[in-house]
């Protein structure tokens, strides 16, 4: 039997299923006697203390600073006074058990977060559930977290309704070789950790805990998104050898990291990394990133209760800049709105938020947000090579506004004798058709550009990038979007400025040849993809890539474009 889900961490795994059955935790919902209230409160406080201790222990066993940070967040949530007081008040006022009170308060918080129309914030639901689960297990004296019970097993694939980040972090990777869950989400910490541990994982597999039994033989094909349940011997043999080749090639690709991203006839392109938070910087140099082409700073502003101060931002930027040792770090200023909101900032209810109060439009009435961020970046700029990039530009008026505000801050710094990089470059995302059409003028005012194909595709085709009803129409390889990209590259190059792509298409190795043929100076992507893209680049001629673009731009349908692209690039292994 073969089933499917969503691959969040690629790779192969062949082993025996272990079902993590956590469904049957019963919370005692009976009313308690007035005489038992003190006991329940102290029982809660003891378990709370134990839970904090356990998280701190897991944290101290971790070597990776970034993963340690995740548990800082857990401990802050747990030690929040209002969280503790709300639980105690519920026990006292409603005469209910500590476990029921914890369950109620966690659910209340989860419901509140669920109302926020923001995927990033929704990911925090898992953190709350993780904390709640552990608290209730401790209240019930159950230990289902340390996975020591798997000590004698080998090659285990965990099957579960869902997994918390703290569970995945504790996996003994010598024994657990992959996981499959029924729920989960792509941007959750669980998925991010799976990816950084390079643990093959597939989520959102319907009814997986009913379809798979303990000790079933499972193959995760995290390349083609297939899960095999009790396959025959031949299939097992085939996947074991596929896995060997996959691991060998991965090692070989990483060795490319020191080599330049250069075509056979010498066309050199820069391969940069996209990052959204500190967690992602760890591997980018090993993967051969030559810089950071897009640092989405929104993460820094989310998962908290107030704006980060200039000082906090400064330390975050400095940390990343220093880590990059003089390589370019492109910091994009805050790109809120659309589907990204802050719990501590009032956003109007809009019928079309992607066309509404978004990005730099927010700065006009909230200059302090822009100023604090620019000050923090400028202060950090002395520690390496920084570029500032503005999102969602649609007009020259916006460019003049932003340059003027930037000038004011630089003037303030000079007056106060604060050091900053005097040659710092400022650039813009080209992610609206408006920016494409004025790219010639933009290139007269700004130093560099990066095409945000994710938004450019949605705005060119009038297709909401998050709307499943129209996702079949969302196609960056459509003739209209390709022409937008070509138009911008040519206009910017005429003014001798550099232009790259930082949208998702940059990581799609099946279009790398086309992108190079368009004449881009830089591709920026999640760094895991860099070795593969580089390998591709080193195996074709730029001359052929240019010819490919020439031919493709003659076509007027997506189908014809894709067919030719496939035909002309099939000699490359994706
Ligand atoms: C884009 O729009 O292509 C882009 C890189 O920005 P984001 O995905 O953050 O909107
Ligand atoms: Mg964008």
Hey, CA dihedral for 189, 195, 197, 202, is it positive or negative? positive
**Do 501 and 520 contact (CB within 8 A), yes or no?**
yes
pLDDT at 460 > cutoff 90 = yes
Distance 435 CA to ligand 2 centre (A): 12
pLDDT at 516 > cutoff 90 = yes
pLDDT at 149 > cutoff 60 = no
- pTM for this entry: 0.70
Ligand 1 proximity of 453 Cβ (cutoff 6 Å): yes
Least confident of 66-70, 142-146, 153-157, 465-469: 142-146
Measured CA to CA, the distance from residue 416 to residue 414 in angstroms comes to 5
Position in ligand 1 atom list of the atom nearest CA 450: 5
Position 574 confidence tier, pLDDT thresholds 50, 70, 90? low
Ligand 1 proximity of 454 Cβ (cutoff 6 Å): yes
Strand blocks (E) in 51-200: 156-160, 176-181
**Do 274 and 517 contact (CB within 8 A), yes or no?**
no
pLDDT at 120 > cutoff 70 = no
The number of CA neighbours under 13 Å toward the Cβ of 437 is 7
Average pLDDT of span 354-377? 95
**Does residue 189 carry a catalytic annotation?**
yes
Q: Which pLDDT score is estimated for 529?
A: 86
Reading the block at residue 190, the tokens are 């669980």
Q: Which pLDDT score is estimated for 22?
A: 65
Distances (CA, A) of 490 to 74, 83, 264, 396, 449: 49, 56, 23, 19, 12
Neighbours of 161 (CB within 10 A): 15
Average pLDDT of span 338-354? 85
Q: For 309, which DSSP code?
A: P
User: Order of strands across the sheet with 176-181?
Assistant: 2-3, 226-229, 217-221, 12-20, 156-160, 176-181, 201-203, 6-9
Q: What angle do CA 5, 110, 85 make, to 5 degrees?
A: 150
Measured CA to CA, the distance from residue 526 to residue 508 in angstroms comes to 11
Distances (CA, A) of 88 to 42, 46, 104, 206, 462: 9, 12, 12, 38, 51
Average pLDDT of span 371-381? 98
Measured CA to CA, the distance from residue 515 to residue 560 in angstroms comes to 17
Residue nearest to atom 3 of ligand 1 (CA): 452
Ligand 1 proximity of 298 Cβ (cutoff 6 Å): no
Reading the block at residue 452, the tokens are 């945000």
Distance 335 CA to ligand 1 centre (A): 9
Which among 16, 11, 12, 13 is positioned nearest to 154, based on CA atoms?
Answer: 16
**Do 211 and 161 contact (CB within 8 A), yes or no?**
no
Q: Which pLDDT score is estimated for 470?
A: 84
Q: Which pLDDT score is estimated for 250?
A: 84
Residue nearest to atom 4 of ligand 1 (CA): 452
Measured CA to CA, the distance from residue 185 to residue 180 in angstroms comes to 12
Average pLDDT of span 271-291? 86
Measured CA to CA, the distance from residue 517 to residue 549 in angstroms comes to 6
Rg (CA), the chain: 26
Mutate to test the pocket of ligand 1, among 186, 187, 296, 354 (most ligand atoms within 8 A of CB): 296
Q: Which pLDDT score is estimated for 288?
A: 93
Q: Which pLDDT score is estimated for 319?
A: 94
Reading the block at residue 69, the tokens are 């940070």
**Does residue 325 carry a catalytic annotation?**
no
Average pLDDT of span 130-138? 86
**Run of H or E including 3:** strand 2-3
The number of CA neighbours under 13 Å toward the Cβ of 354 is 16
Position in ligand 1 atom list of the atom nearest CA 294: 5
**Do 506 and 270 contact (CB within 8 A), yes or no?**
no
Which among 55, 62, 302, 87 is positioned nearest to 164, based on CA atoms?
Answer: 55
């Amino acid at each position: 039997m073969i089933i499917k889900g969503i691959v969040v961490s690629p790779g192969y795994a062949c082993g025996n299923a272990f079902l993590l059955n956590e469904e049957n935790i019963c919370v005692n919902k009976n009313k308690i006697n007035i005489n038992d209230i003190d006991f329940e409160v102290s029982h809660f406080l003891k378990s709370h203390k134990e839970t904090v201790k356990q998280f701190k222990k897991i944290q101290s066993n971790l070597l990776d600073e970034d993963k340690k940070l995740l548990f800082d967040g857990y401990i802050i949530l747990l030690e929040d006074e209002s969280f503790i007081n709300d639980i105690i008040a519920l026990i006292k006022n409603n005469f209910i058990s500590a476990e029921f009170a914890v369950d109620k308060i966690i659910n209340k918080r989860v419901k509140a977060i669920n109302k926020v129309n923001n995927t990033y914030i929704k990911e925090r639901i898992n953190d709350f559930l993780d904390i709640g689960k552990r608290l209730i297990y401790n209240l019930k004296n159950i230990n289902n977290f340390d996975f020591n019970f798997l000590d004698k097993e080998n090659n285990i694939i965990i099957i579960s309704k869902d997994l918390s980040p703290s569970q995945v972090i504790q996996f003994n990777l010598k024994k657990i070789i992959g996981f499959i869950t029924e729920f989960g989400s792509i941007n959750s910490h669980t998925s991010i950790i799976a990816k950084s541990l390079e643990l093959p994982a597939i989520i959102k597999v319907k009814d997986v805990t009913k379809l798979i039994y303990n000790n079933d033989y499972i193959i995760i094909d995290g390349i083609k998104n297939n899960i095999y349940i009790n396959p025959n011997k031949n299939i097992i043999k085939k996947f074991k050898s596929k896995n060997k080749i996959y691991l060998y090639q991965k090692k070989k690709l990483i060795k490319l990291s020191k080599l330049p991203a250069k075509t056979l006839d010498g066309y050199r392109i820069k391969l940069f990394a996209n990052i959204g938070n500190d967690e992602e910087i760890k591997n980018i140099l090993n993967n051969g990133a030559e810089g950071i082409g897009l640092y989405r700073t929104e993460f820094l502003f989310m998962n908290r209760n107030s704006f980060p101060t200039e000082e906090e931002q400064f330390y975050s930027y400095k940390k990343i800049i220093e880590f990059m040792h003089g390589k370019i770090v492109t910091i994009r200023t805050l790109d809120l709105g659309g589907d990204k909101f802050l719990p501590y900032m009032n956003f109007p209810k809009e019928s079309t938020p992607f066309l509404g109060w978004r990005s730099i439009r927010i700065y006009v009435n909230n200059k302090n947000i822009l100023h604090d961020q620019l000050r923090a970046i400028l202060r950090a700029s002395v520690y390496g090579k920084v570029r500032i990039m503005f999102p969602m530009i649609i007009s020259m008026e916006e460019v003049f506004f932003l340059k003027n505000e930037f000038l004011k801050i630089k003037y303030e710094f000079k007056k106060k004798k604060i050091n900053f990089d005097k040659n710092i470059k400022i650039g813009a995302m080209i992610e609206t058709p408006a920016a494409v059409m004025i790219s010639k003028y933009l290139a007269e005012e700004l130093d560099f550009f990066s095409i945000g194909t994710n938004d450019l595709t949605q705005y060119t085709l009038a297709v909401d990038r998050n709307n499943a009803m129209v996702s079949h129409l969302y196609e960056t390889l459509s003739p209209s979007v390709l022409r937008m990209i070509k138009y911008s590259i040519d206009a910017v190059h005429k003014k001798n400025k550099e232009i790259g792509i930082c949208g998702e298409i940059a990581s799609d190795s099946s279009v790398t040849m086309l992108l190079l043929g368009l004449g881009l100076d830089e591709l920026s992507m999640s760094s895991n993809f860099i070795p593969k893209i580089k390998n591709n680049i080193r195996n074709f001629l730029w001359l052929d890539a240019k010819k490919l673009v020439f031919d493709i731009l003659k076509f007027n349908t997506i189908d014809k474009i894709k067919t030719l692209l496939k035909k002309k690039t099939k000699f490359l292994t994706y």
